[in-house]
Structures are given as structure tokens and as C-alpha cells.
Structure 1
Amino acid sequence: MYKKLLFIFLILTVVSFGQSVPKSPFSNSLWLGLEGGATLPQTDYKDIVPNYFGRVTAEYFLESWDFGSLGFVGFGGMGKVSGEDDRKIPSKLAADVTEYGGGFKFVFNVSESVYPYLLVSGANITYKVKDDATGNELNKVITIGNDNDHSLRIGGEVGAKFPLSDMFALKVSASMYATSEDWLDDYWNDVNKDWYATVGAGVMVKLFGGVKDTDMDGVPDDLDKCPNTPLGLKVDIDGCSVDSDGDGIVDEEELALGTDMNNPDTDGDGLKDGEEVRNYKTNPLKDDTDGDGLKDGDEVIKHKTDPLKADTDGDGLSDFDEITKYKTSPVKKDTDADDLMDGEEVNTYKTDPLKSDTDADGLKDNLEVKQYKTNPLKADTDGGSILDGAEILRSTNPLDPKDDVESIKSEVGQAIVLEGVVFATGKSDILPESEAILTKAYYTLKDNPEIHVQIQGHTDNVGNKRKNMDLSLARAESVKAFLIAKGIDGARITTAGFGPDKPLVPNTTAANKQKNRRIEFLRTK
């Protein structure tokens, strides 16, 4: 039994260590206590039968040391000790026990919420032994020895006190007492004396004295700069809550917030609770405050987005979608700088928010959508063979395929016959039916400003050669004048007249002569 009591005391003490060492609330104070519990006897009756006890105590403690307080205890109480043994008469026995005595108590100052203690005491006890079945007092009729009805007992007690406030405390205890006589069960044994143990609990009230500590944090009120610290929190020497986890928030505030005072990042989002509360105004209990699918820490540290806004740049796409799905910038509403917000491109126009010209037609997506009303997903909106951007440069209508005139494809040094250029007979006047082919020549030069050409005139062999030479040059000059009138720089165009000297085919038939009467387009640069 001694070993069990010592074990209980050690457990209470060890559990309490590791907490801040407070000023004892029992220092220089008088306390009145009331407790009760069960008795567990060890007598000549072989079977232990638990019964009750009750006790009133008065305890006065001296000025405490850092490690604890020494007190003087006086007490008085009563109870009953019982036993059973089929070998004895009577088989069931009960003794009414009354005690009064005193002792020394030491309360260990290791925690502000649990104070283990050790008590050594002595007492005078009187007892009346009865047949528990009939209630009749035995009066030493059946025993050997004298008729003593009192004894001394000594013993030890371990327990713990639990302060509820400056004035009240709870206590639990376990004790063991040895008696000086062997008459507790009305049987005498010259080998072993009777003894009994108790386990109990009670309440204590302070009558006067002691250190006033309203918040019970171990720091007296006259020294406590934070006299209303919640019970159970660690405090510093000034009585103010500490920051146990080093997150920038003291434990008292964490208690109010509901965060974990032993975990600097309660929600595991990569930001300390203090940073969330003080700097970013995010929720320290929710790892994704704005619900955009990104942890607050990733938003602040990695992506530089606003953890309070699901769409930091206000472009119509959540930060999560921009980063993980579309690869756009979550802090720039128009990633490709085409004057369309990323959200418009994705949700409304279905264009690529990473390409300013989704269909690569030479026009930015915003110009196609807002100005020219062309399709930003189709390079040639009208299907007429000329890209929308080229049509805008030509000043043709990208929505009308009829004005889509292809340019002439040629290499430097290559001569191409402009089929369809028709002149008045014997003159250099260009007839209207030449408009289509000359327009193609015009767009070739307009679309390719780096190209230089020579316009060459040719005739058949009919008539005076000198006149044919002059006529071929005059017709080449007419074509040049047409192109200059359209806006082509004349410095890019030279002319030459070869008359009948370079026929394509022999001038033997009317059809061949028609082929030889021509204008050629020679790229010189």
C-alpha cells in the first residue's frame, strides 16, 4: 500500500512539472477544508469491506519558497471501518471511529493548476466495535485482552490541490494509517497491528491571508500587468500571456481566435498565424481564405497574388485557373497585351490569352473583335484568300471576299507576263479590262515594300520597228503611271521597251502575235 501511495504522488508531481512555476496561492494563509471518502482497513478480518469517512481540516501555511509551501494542519473527523471473516464471530464487523489530531503538510509549487502535497500526521482515535449484522456493541466480551477503546495512529497522505480561484480549491487524497493498538477489530494479534487507508476528495475555502491572484496565473495582482489572463495559460514574469509557439500571437489571443497555441501555422498554409492575423488579414484557421484553390502561403510567397481575392487582377479568371490551367499571369489582367482581358479571351471570345494574335492574321485579337468585327479565330474571315491583316493594310474589306486580290509571286530576276493588260490599238492607253491584273501587280508592290521591279513592254513584228520600240516603252510607262497613281513609290519601278525583239513565240499566226504583244513584270530586287 505504501508503494501505491508513493506512486500516485510521483505521478501527480511529474505531470505537473514542465509548466511555469507560479507563486503559491497558499502562502501566508489559513484554509478551512471539508472532505470525505472511503476507508480500506487491514485487520485480523481477512476480507476488506470499504466504508465511509468524513473530516474537517484547518491548514495554515507559512511564507512560501519558490518550490513550495510548508503548512500546519489540524483536523477532526469520523468514519467507519468494516471487515468480514467467516472464521470469526461475528463474521461481519464494523467499528465507528472518531479522530482528532494534526500534522505537517508540504505543498509543492510546480504548477498554477495542480499542487501536489505530502502530509505527515498523528491523531488520537476512539472506536466502538459492533456486530455489523445486529448493531450490538461487542464490549470485548469475546476477545482476549483489555477493554481499551482508543488508540494512537500515525500515517502519511499524498494528494493534490486544484485552485478554482483565490478563495476556493478542490483536493484529492490517498492516505495510510497505522494504529498503536490491535483492538480496531476487537481481536488481538501480537504480531501485526491494525491499520487502514483512505481515499477521498474535498473542497477548501480560504479564511484569510495569502497572495491575491485574481486570474490564478501565479503572479500576484500587485505585480500582475495582465490580471485577467484566462486560467491555464502560460505567463511571463509580468503575468502576461506568452507566445508559446513563436507565431507572433500570444496564447491568450490564440485562445480567443481558436488557433493552436502550440502550432505556429494552425491551418498549415505556409504562413504563421501572426502573419495571417497582423499582416495579411487572412483566416489562420483556413488554409485558402479566398477559396480560389491556392493556399494563402503560396499566394503570398510564390505567386504574389492577393490571398483575400479569388481573382487578384480582376480579369474574370480565378488565380488558381490562371496558374494551373491557362498559364496566364494572375497579377496582370491582359497577359498577352492585346487589350482584351484574359477572362474575356477565355470565356467570351475563346481566343488564346497568351497570344495577342490568336489566328496569326496580322491583327490583334482586340482589333478583330472590337474594330473590324472579324473572326479572331479565323485568319481569313471572308474566305477570299487574303488574310484579314493584309486586307486592312490594303484598305480592302476583310468581310468581303470579292476584293481579295492575290499578289504576284516572283523571285528576283524572274519575269512574269501580266496576262490581261489591254491597250487601245496602236496606243499606250490602258483599257478598263486591264484593271484586275494591274490591281494584282499593285498589291504585290504594296504588300511587299522591299520589292523593286522593271515593267517591260513588247510588241509583235507588224509595222515599223522604230514605232514598235517607242510604243512598247510608252505602254510600260503607262503601267508605271497606273501604279504610281495607286500610291506606289516611282523609285521602285523602272521601265523598258523591247518592241518586237523578244518574242515569246514566232510571229507566224495571229494568235502568236497576240501572245507577243504583252507587258512583263520583272523583279529586280
Structure 2
Amino acid sequence: MKQLSKLLVVILIVAVGMNNLQAQDENNPWQIGFGVNAIDVFPTGDDDALTNFGFQTGSFGSEFFNANDHWNILPSISYVSVSRYLSDGFSVGVRGSLNRIENLGDVRVDDLSHYAVDGTVKYNFLKNTKLDPFVEIGGGYTWVDEIGAGTINGGIGLNYWFTDNIGFTIQSSYKHAFEDYLVKHFQHLAGLNIRFGGTDTDGDGIYDRDDACPEVAGLEAFNGCPDSDGDGIEDGKDDCPNQAGSKEMNGCPDADGDGIADKDDACPNEAGLAALAGCPDADGDGVADKDDECPNEAGPAENKGCPWPDKDGDSVLDKDDQCPDVAGTVANNGCPEVTEEVQKQLNDYARTILFDTGRSSIKAESTSVMVDIIQILNEYPNSKFTVEGHTDSVGSQKLNQTLSESRANAVRDFLIDKGIGASRLTAVGYGEDKPIATNNTRAGRTQNRRVEINLIK
């Protein structure tokens, strides 16, 4: 325990010196730690040094976590540390540790005393988190059985904070001795940390750790937070911290008395409705008068407060009418419906379309009938149609199928070229599969060679 006394004296001297550092803005800048440490020589493979002690060890890195065979642990508090936070995650400190060496590599030895004093520079990666990883570098002096030497150290660790002030830490460091006669080794630490030393940044007599507004001077009644407008509501809970108001309005004024704070009231000097951000609605249509183009005539918001028109008088409002300038039916979204008579007339025209023999090119003499078809299609702008191609049974079935598809597409392309929307027309070929007359006579075959344009229902 003689060594422990020396160690504690050194730590206290360093702590007093560190207390003279410039004050920091962070709460709890001081941290003390204590716990147990384990010394492990085996993973370093420090053959030369161990030879000087009369022992040999294994290769670097082997059996790093073999605590039973290689770790040396003193079953009591065997390290104490103190550190001071600087800024940006950096802190400096000093740590002292004691141990008893019984394992040097794979070899058992008589008890060798081990104690060390180390200076540390630590960097914490995260702020204000329970899991707090860090890296550490530093240097110090280590004695093994009264033989001492300087070391340079590097380590990694992890804190877990149960509260803002108390946490658990684990750490592993490698200590590289400058002198050949001292053994290089790993030191593992596990223990508790305590943080303390709060400051009063804003000078309001309330320490930062207890100050809800540590950087702004405030009142004790509000846990250190200010009340700038003096309305008895602290600024953090006051929706209008620079304008005196009432508690009912969360610290804001209500000039027109409509129960809506002026800051939220689109019409602060005219009493109105909460649903309309404090503005009035004379015609009760749910559109505030300031936004209502017909303030005295109820209408929907989509039409700026005015009623929807129905220009063609077909009982389908223009907004829903796909043919607002032509009277239609409700069932057909305001557009006229294709009747059976119109469908028949359309196909009477379509069946007269003539093509060059064995080809899909439309003959010039069919131009007039195509014009008639276009006029009918334009009268029903929201209706969609299928252009169907048919052939007689002369020739191969495959050739007839191809020809029917080509002729159907030729008619569709012609109609699209003349202004009919492509999305309204679909082309399909049926070849010789759907005859309307016998294929055994010339007249029948003539009827079967046709194009039909049918409404898609």
C-alpha cells in the first residue's frame, strides 16, 4: 500500500494543477474514475524483455482475451484517475494503478509488484449520449518489482452513463516501454466514473446543470430562464416573449377578442372564426371574406367562394363536365353518348373504306368517307373506339391475320394524323376469324373484307 499512497499524492498534485486551467463552458468538466485493472504481457510477444527476466512468451496477438491464463488482476480497487474536459471532445488527465504480477506470458512467477503513473489525452467521439466511445494516448512511468522505465501508451474504451454524472467504463491500452529491460504489456481497465464541477455561464446565480437557460440570465422562479416582457410567463413557454399577453393565449395578445392570438390571427383587428384563422365569413361557405370572390353568395373553396357554373345546362357542373360546351348526360360525365344509331352509321362508313388489293394502303377515293368518320368521332370527344380489321378466307390464315392488322393500323394512323387523340383509338386485326357473310361467294367475300370502328364500353 506504500505505492498506493505515493500514487494518490501524485494524482492530487496534478489535479490541483489542472484546476488552474481556464474555465470551460461545458457542465461537469471534472471526472474521477476508479476500478480494477488487469495486466497482460502475453499478446505483446516481448521476447527480449521477458528473456531478461528469465521467461519466454507467445506470438503477438495470440490469446488476447485469455484472462484465466495470462491476465494479472488485483481483487480490489487498483486504479484511480482524474481528468479535466478542455473542449471539442478533448480532455487531459492522470491515472495511477497498482497490480501484482503472477503471469508473465505462459509462465507463473513469484509476485512482482507493478505500479504506474500515466498522463492521458482523451478524445470522446460523441456528445450527450449514454454510449460514449473514446480513444486515449499518453505516457507515463511504470515500475515492475522496483524496476522502472518510461512508457508511451495508446488505448480505446467505452463509457456507459447511467446518469449525467455516473457511468461505467471499460478500456484497453497498450504500453510500450522505452527501456529494453521493462516488459511491454497491455493494461485493461473496468470501473466507475463520476463527473462534476458545474459552472454558471450566464452569472444568474444558478449553476448550468440546474439552469434551464444556462446561457441567458434569468429568474430562479423559472429555473434560470428569463421573462422578457414581464407577463409572468417565461420566454421558453411564451409564444410572444416580447409582447405581454395572457396565460390563456400562451403569453400573446388578442386585440379583437375572438380567442385567437394576434400572431395566429390573419385578421387581428376583426373578430372571426378559429377555423378561418380568425377571419369572418359573411356567407358561411367556409371561405374567409378576404379570400372570397363572392363574399355574399355561398360557393366552394375550389372556386374561390363562388358557385360553379354549368354553361351547357346539362346538370353536370363545368368542373366535372368533360364536354363543358356540349350538352351531354350525367352518366357520360357531361358528354353526349354514342347511340346505336350513331354506331351503325359509323360502321356503315367504315365498311366502305377501300384498300389497294393485298395491301394496307387506303385508296384515294375513300378520303371523303374518312372525313365523315372524323366528324362523328369529334362529336364524342371522350369516347374511345376500337378499329377492327377483317379479311375473307382467300389466302393463308397467317397472311390474312397480318393483312387485317396492317389495315386496322392504317385507318388508326390516318385518324390520328387528322387530329383524333391517339389514346382514344385502339387497332386490332381478326383476319378471317369473324366473317359476316359466306366466303363461298364473291359477294360474301366482299362483305367480309371490311373495317369496323366500334365503341369501347
TM over 0.5: no
- TM-score, normalising length: structure 1: 0.28
- TM-score, normalising length: structure 2: 0.31
- Choose 1 or 2 for highest CA Rg: 1
